[in-house]
Structure 1
Amino acid sequence: MRDRLLALIAGLLFPLAFAPYDLWPLLFVSIGLGYWCQQQASSAREALLRGWLYGLGMFAFGISWVHVSMHDYGFMPLWMAIPFTGLFAAFLALFYGLTFYASWRLGRSALAFAGIWLLLDWLRGVLLTGFPWLYAGYALIDSPFATLAPIGGVWLLTLSAVLISACLIRLTNWRRGGYAGLVASSALLILTAASHTLTFTQPSGSAQKVALVQGNIPQDLKWQLSMRERTQQIYQDLTRDIPADTLVVWPESALTNFYQNVSEFVEQEGQKIAERNGGFITGVPWRTVSNSGVTYHNSIASIPLDPGDGRQRVYHKQKLVPFGEYVPMQSLIRGLIPFFDLPMSGFTPGKSSQPNLTALGHSIAPFICYEILYPELVADRSHDADVLLTISNDAWFGTSAGPLQHFQMARMRALETGRWLLRGTNNGVTAVINEHGKVVDALPQFERDVLLSQYQPRQGTTPFMATGVWPWLLLACLIVWAGWRGRIRTSPNIPL
């Protein structure tokens, strides 16, 4: 019972390494304690339970903010929202139960533990559209390990955190082997030291002025029909005095009406900005009518929409949020509770073949809200991009930790690709991030304002952009095998 409670406490420590707490050394404490609890398990079944308790502590605390959107804006009673969030956390915890179970079955080595952790984290990010949240590597964005990101992305950072944490526990008992894990950890530390001297991208052209408009319209008012004209006026007023030669960005769904219904207003705003030699990009819902019917998209457009140069001017979001932007099995569950009928929850995903946007002569890789959490998607779209752009509306999660965790994860994409990232939001965090993942300028949350800054276009390819996740999945498989073979040689009587 004591070790089970310790596993739960270890999981509760895990989110403290992330924003808004940013106590990143606790990441190693949390994972190390979890690994110690797995080592003490008397059976694979007990290891499974301890791993599930570890994951339950991690997600029950780390994503507790999910209930905010359900209760405050999805009109779900609190007595339902909290259990729904708990069930979601309990499901996600299964991935860590399986990690503890599988690595126990394979001999309990640090190598197997780290490799299986990474493989199941990746699976969590792709299964049923994925929930790529709270990967261990994100907590290291402001640590000395951060320079590993351009080499192997958040995956290499995660693998490093788990392997080093487990090997620190192994140091307490040399007689049980684990030397291969210690060698691998030492190699990672050497690579970390060497990576501080590496640069993979370079400036391309002169700096560009940018204005990120933060409308800060309350979420409970934003989607009301009576707010549509008022919303247009707010953004128009905020944009009026922006200096010339500036790229102006409005956030996700800045206008809560389809482009086709507000095209005159949007194009007029774009024309005013163009007359000052600026560019204009806005988030806006999109309606497409074809022979097969009507489809709706969550989109971002570079205005004017048809400048006559034949270049791409609109991007439709590919990675949709379940229940927020589409409802799985909607014919069965729509209408059961109000949460399944949130505004704009009937979107269709855009095609993966969409090119990047262009504005003021720059190629801009666009990502809408949740999409910035997918490392491979961002890396694939960044090859010809001068800058990354993500727009979001995190007002769904109020004053919780959710928006700050989202912002922290977005910063990792800049570091992985060696490019500046522009982040425009409705109520924060609106910011400009450089190629090192560092915040250059930012607005306070929950204020109506315009962030005037600049970005440096960059070109070049980081190793992570060139390879993606696959080398690290292969490495994870190899170290799982090495850990298993090593334990067989040193402890042939361990039950498998």
Structure 2
Amino acid sequence: MTLTSWRAAGVAFLAGALAALAMPPLYWLPLAVLGIVAFVWLWDTASGPKSALLRGWAWGTGHFAVGSYWIVEAFFVPPADFALLGPPIVVGLAALLGFFPGMAAGAAKWAAGRWPSLGGRYCRLLLLAVAWTIAEWLRGHVFTGYSWNPLGHVWAFATPLLQGAALFGVYGLGLLTFMILAAPAAGWRASILALIAVGAAGFAGQAAMAPLDTAGGPLVRIVQPNTLQAEKWRPELRAQHMAKLVEMSRRPGFDGLAAVIWPETAPPFIVEPGSAALEYMATAVPPDGYLVTGAARGTRNREDGVWNSLLVINGAGEIVATYDKVHLVPLGEYIPFHKQLAPVAGFIGRGSFEVGESRVTLDLPRLASFSPIICYEVIFPAAVTGPGARPRWLLNVTNDAWFGLSSGPYQHLTSARLRAVEEGLPMLRAANTGVSAVIDAHGRVLAALDMQREGIIDHVIPPAREPTPYGRWGDGTLIALLMFAVAVLVALSRFTGREKTDNSKP
């Protein structure tokens, strides 16, 4: 790997792109091993921090270009006014995100140069793993964050291997994952240890996944209407879309439900208090139950704005609870300073939602308390529950119709599963075109409707587990893991330094 300039960058870009194919839904794990080992070798042979940063940046650009290609699909949804902007925006986003693994490589190279005792084969892997994890955490927080496809997601094909997220969250799982995937770069002994670690983690995870008794929980119905995004907001189809939602809601078994759940922005219009549409929506409310739906919420004063919301509606057509989305997608759901720069905002996009005040936990009769999460919000660890008492379950309403049959919806589902594992709470997911799912508190998918299928899921809300360490302390457990890793790194470096000193004696 004694490559120079553009050759090294090209190899790095290709290695990062191949590693992205280990993410859902493909799970080609050997490519993740190849990609991470190449990352380590490129870092090893870099001449200094700047060279390591540029190689890491090229690796990250390739990785995120493949991992986030599905964003292009949204630009081609009719009327596709900005279709030509799709590819350059995705490439630009990948180049921006590439700086996070680049910064990890550059910082680790600087540290290795400053403290030569960190140059041992095990030290360098642990040093890179710590730097990688810090960079991933920053990627999930800087400029509102983009915590998509963290490294720990490569294990989603085997639920037992996700259980470490209950201890340290997905970022902590990523630190351990980096060490395992990078092990071949340290030799065959490290590779064997990595295989043993994966086996041990699998057995431990399986043992932790005790069966959960679902008897006695509220019975709910998830409706997946499979409405194409190109048709969703056409005025002449509104009545047809609403009739379909109500008909699916009232299918056999309706009278025994505690709630009917519709996906994000299910009604194809802005819902206002006192609207005549609420009376019709109330026909989808089961006896003594609720309709829980994503909706664009407005007020009678249109100047107040519109919110991407979750509404709980009773049989009288009254809105009894509301949650307004807090973490909006920049440039996708809102334009920064859109009110102050109205002409510019109007040119860039089709409008902006207002930002909600705070996350909530809703507690309603006949329905166990839950925290709602709208679409994109589910990708952020330690940010899915409301303040106060712990909810009994999580609800994610989303509309992934924007992204067709790409990998995006499957990766989105994986994020929902990780949040369930981290919090020890079951997750119900209502998606317009899929994937709708019932996920238990261990991240197991108990029932699902695949992409671009119309249907309903009737299921009892699974029970919650006892609070997990990550659910109790959030990123505090990640910090503890990083501190432990640094302590091990210091101990290894001292041992390596003494070993070199002893070997140099006559």
Partner in structure 2 of residue 157 of structure 1: 173
Q: Secondary structure of the residue that 1:375 maps to in structure 2?
A: coil
Question: Is the Cα–Cα contact under 8 Å of residues 338 and 352 in structure 2 kept in the other structure?
Answer: no
1:299 is the counterpart of 2:348? no
- Judge which range, 29-38 or 479-488, deviates more: 479-488
User: Residues 21-420 of structure 1: matches in 2 within 5 Å?
Assistant: 21-73=26-78, 75-76=80-81, 78-107=83-112, 109-143=124-158, 144-171=160-187, 193-198=203-208, 206-243=216-253, 244-246=255-257, 247-260=259-272, 263-270=275-282, 273-275=285-287, 277-288=288-299, 294-304=304-314, 313-330=321-338, 340-342=348-350, 345-352=351-358, 354-358=360-364, 360-378=366-384, 384-420=390-426
Unaligned runs of 5+ residues in structure 2 are 113-118, 501-506
Deviations 1:254-293 (A, max 9, x none): 0132221674433454366332x44321111112468x96
Q: Which has the higher contact order (CA 8 A, sep 6+)?
A: 1
Question: Is the Cα–Cα contact under 8 Å of residues 133 and 175 in structure 2 kept in the other structure?
Answer: yes
Q: 1:182 to 1:161 in 2, by over 3 A?
A: same
Q: Once the 2 structures are TM-superposed, how far is the Cα of residue 192 of structure 1 from its aligned partner? A: 6.2
Question: Is the Cα–Cα contact under 8 Å of residues 302 and 358 in structure 1 kept in the other structure?
Answer: no
* CA–CA separation in structure 2 for the residues paired with 1:65 and 1:259: 30
Look up the equivalent residue of 1:252 and give its one-letter code: E
- Judge which range, 47-56 or 357-366, deviates more: 357-366
Q: Secondary structure of the residue that 1:280 maps to in structure 2?
A: strand
Number of residues paired by the alignment?
Answer: 481
Q: Secondary structure of the residue that 2:446 maps to in structure 1?
A: strand
Deviations 1:282-308 (A, max 9, x none): 111112468x96132111112129899
* CA–CA separation in structure 1 for the residues paired with 2:372 and 2:154: 24
Look up the equivalent residue of 1:313 and give its one-letter code: A
Q: Secondary structure of the residue that 2:382 maps to in structure 1?
A: helix
Q: 1:200 to 1:296 in 2, by over 3 A?
A: farther
1:446 is the counterpart of 2:452? yes
* CA–CA separation in structure 2 for the residues paired with 1:82 and 1:170: 38
TM-score by length of 2: 0.84
Question: Is the Cα–Cα contact under 8 Å of residues 167 and 477 in structure 2 kept in the other structure?
Answer: no
* CA–CA separation in structure 2 for the residues paired with 1:182 and 1:37: 23
Question: Is the Cα–Cα contact under 8 Å of residues 73 and 404 in structure 2 kept in the other structure?
Answer: yes
Q: Secondary structure of the residue that 2:266 maps to in structure 1?
A: coil
Q: Secondary structure of the residue that 2:80 maps to in structure 1?
A: coil
Q: Once the 2 structures are TM-superposed, how far is the Cα of residue 486 of structure 1 from its aligned partner? A: 5.0
RMSD of aligned residue pairs (Cα, Å): 3.4
Q: Once the 2 structures are TM-superposed, how far is the Cα of residue 19 of structure 1 from its aligned partner? A: 1.5
- Judge which range, 39-48 or 184-193, deviates more: 184-193
* CA–CA separation in structure 1 for the residues paired with 2:347 and 2:448: 32
Q: Secondary structure of the residue that 1:378 maps to in structure 2?
A: coil
Q: 1:456 to 1:479 in 2, by over 3 A?
A: closer
Q: Once the 2 structures are TM-superposed, how far is the Cα of residue 200 of structure 1 from its aligned partner? A: 9.2
Q: Once the 2 structures are TM-superposed, how far is the Cα of residue 388 of structure 1 from its aligned partner? A: 1.4
Deviations 1:437-471 (A, max 9, x none): 12211113212222233332325211110111133
* CA–CA separation in structure 1 for the residues paired with 2:336 and 2:469: 36
Q: Once the 2 structures are TM-superposed, how far is the Cα of residue 357 of structure 1 from its aligned partner? A: 4.7
Question: Is the Cα–Cα contact under 8 Å of residues 382 and 388 in structure 1 kept in the other structure?
Answer: no
Unaligned runs of 5+ residues in structure 1 are none
Q: Secondary structure of the residue that 2:148 maps to in structure 1?
A: coil
* CA–CA separation in structure 2 for the residues paired with 1:464 and 1:270: 39
Look up the equivalent residue of 2:335 and give its one-letter code: V
Look up the equivalent residue of 1:390 and give its one-letter code: N
Q: Once the 2 structures are TM-superposed, how far is the Cα of residue 392 of structure 1 from its aligned partner? A: 0.3
Q: Secondary structure of the residue that 2:272 maps to in structure 1?
A: helix
